[in-house]
Amino acid sequence: MQINQHAKLSIAPMMDWTDRHCRYLHRLLSGQTLLYTEMVTSAALIRGQSVHLLDHSAAEHPVALQLGGSDPAELAQAAKLGEDAGYCEINLNVGCPSDRVQSGCFGAVLMERPALVADCVSAMRSAVSVPVTVKCRIGVDDQDPEEVLPEFLARVVGTGCDRVSIHARKAWLQGLSPKENRDIPPLDYDLVMRMKGLFPNLEITINGGITSLEQARAFLEAGLDGVMIGRAAYHDPAAILCRADPLIYGVGEATVPEQAVLQMLPYIDAHLMQGGKLGQITRHMLGLFTGRPGARAWRRVLSEGAHHPGAGPALVEQALTHVVRRDAA
């Protein structure tokens, strides 16, 4: 399957959330969904020489690396490092509104500098042979999205960008926290739909506020190429990922979260053997049984026990005994 096919459903890049352990879990729940890393800055990779930030497991594939930056040459170098590390797509962050990111002149503030974004994408494009994609907003601050989004996309299309994921709301760079910027500016799905009409040859993924596979399917049926889900997939991964393979890709069967938990045990063991901590993995598993009988006890056993010395796979197995199987409930 080509990456653009996998991109029919993707799990959004989320700092501190979609780390390698989270992606390993998500991959057990869906074999096809495209996964994204947290954002890694090109400066950390090139100037900070923090190449360990690219570490991941081959089992996570297909997985895309998201980069933050605005220096075309540095981004090109970082993209190459990402390709060499095995990532199947390199994505440029043009949507993140945090202060730190604004001060480094990248993220959502780049919506105001489409020519620079085009230079960045062109430089990345010529450095790698895997797809290069962009994740953006519909505008920032007092920009008029109806005007700036088509201009922005026209620039990006000209670079040979392989896909654009559009978070269907503005970012307000002054006055709102990054968290507020994910909820307060209103969503405009209709504008994103119209962009597909204007740029029929550009692969367009919609993002923002999507909470179910049914909603995702409706967007695909309406003509969009992909749907990206962030928070809903993190908080209730089973609801989004367990049926994704049959429902979105028409392959395989629905997966079972209990099974994924058992498959995590050897991974957890290996992590502990290397000196890692149980909580680094189990924190991503807390939402696995959301809405099911026993979910609260599952979360409690893991959150209270994971930090005790010697805690390991046995704690996870113990937590699992609290979860009542759906057909037995």
Ligand X SMILES: Cc1cc2nc3c(=O)[nH]c(=O)nc-3n(C[C@H](O)[C@H](O)[C@H](O)COP(=O)(O)O)c2cc1C
What residues act catalytically?
A: 96
Residue 205 binds ligand X, judged by CB under 6 A: no
Q: Which is nearer to ligand X, 32 or 98 (CB)?
A: 98
Q: Which stretch binds ligand X (CB under 6 A): 229-237, 243-251, 258-266, 300-308?
A: 229-237
Residue 210 binds ligand X, judged by CB under 6 A: yes
Per the annotation, does 82 bind a ligand?
no
Residue 96 binds ligand X, judged by CB under 6 A: yes
Are the C-beta atoms of residues 192 and 224 closer than 8 Å to each other? Answer: yes
Around 170, how many Cα atoms within 13 Å sit in the side-chain half-sphere?
Answer: 17
Per the annotation, does 13 bind a ligand?
yes
Per the annotation, does 14 bind a ligand?
yes
From residue 32 to residue 71, the character string flagging contacts with ligand X as x (rule: CB under 6 A) and all else as - is ------xx--------------------------x-----
Per the annotation, does 207 bind a ligand?
yes
From residue 149 to residue 178, the character string flagging contacts with ligand X as x (rule: CB under 6 A) and all else as - is ------------------x-----------
Q: Which is nearer to ligand X, 187 or 306 (CB)?
A: 187
Q: Which is nearer to ligand X, 26 or 167 (CB)?
A: 167
Any idea which residue has 């654009």 for tokens?
Answer: 164
DSSP lists the bridge partners of residue 35 as 11, 63
Residue 120 binds ligand X, judged by CB under 6 A: no
Q: Which stretch binds ligand X (CB under 6 A): 12-20, 69-77, 112-120, 236-244?
A: 12-20
Contact partners, residue 163, CB within 8 Å, separation at least 6: 4, 7, 131, 133, 134, 202, 203, 204, 205, 225, 226
Q: Which is nearer to ligand X, 23 or 261 (CB)?
A: 23
Residue 95 binds ligand X, judged by CB under 6 A: yes
CA distance 312 to 268: 7
Are the C-beta atoms of residues 53 and 96 closer than 8 Å to each other? Answer: no
* First and final C-alpha spacing in the chain: 38
Question: Which residue, judged by CB position, is nearest to ligand X in the bound state?
Answer: 230
Q: Which is nearer to ligand X, 62 or 305 (CB)?
A: 62
Are the C-beta atoms of residues 98 and 48 closer than 8 Å to each other? Answer: no
**Known binding positions:** 13-15, 66, 135, 167, 207-209, 230-231
Residues near ligand X, by CB under 6 A: 12-17, 38-39, 66, 93, 95-96, 135, 167, 182, 207-210, 229-232
